[in-house]
Amino acid sequence: MSENTKKVALITGSSRGIGAATAILLAKQGYDICINYKNNSKAADKVLEQARIYNTRCISIQADVSIETEVINLFRQIDQQLGPITSLVNNAGMLLPQSKLEDMDAERINRILTTNVTSYFLCCREAVKRMSKSKGGLGGAIVSVSSVASRTGSPGEYIDYAASKGAIDTLTKGLSVEVAADGIRVNCVRPGFIKTDMHTDGGEPDRIERIKGLIPMKRGGEATEVATSIAWLLSDEASYVTGSFTDIAGGR
Which residues are catalytic, by number?
A: 161
Q: What are phi and psi of 138, to 5 degrees?
A: -110, 10
In the sheet with 58-62, reading across from the earlier edge strand, the strands are 58-62, 32-37, 8-11, 87-90, 140-145, 184-191, 245-248
Q: Long-range contacts of range 195-202, CB-CB < 8 Å, 24 or more positions apart?
A: 195/220, 195/221, 195/222, 195/223, 196/16, 196/17, 196/18, 196/223, 197/16, 197/17, 198/17, 198/95, 199/95, 201/94, 201/95, 201/96, 201/97, 202/95, 202/96, 202/97, 202/98, 202/157, 202/158
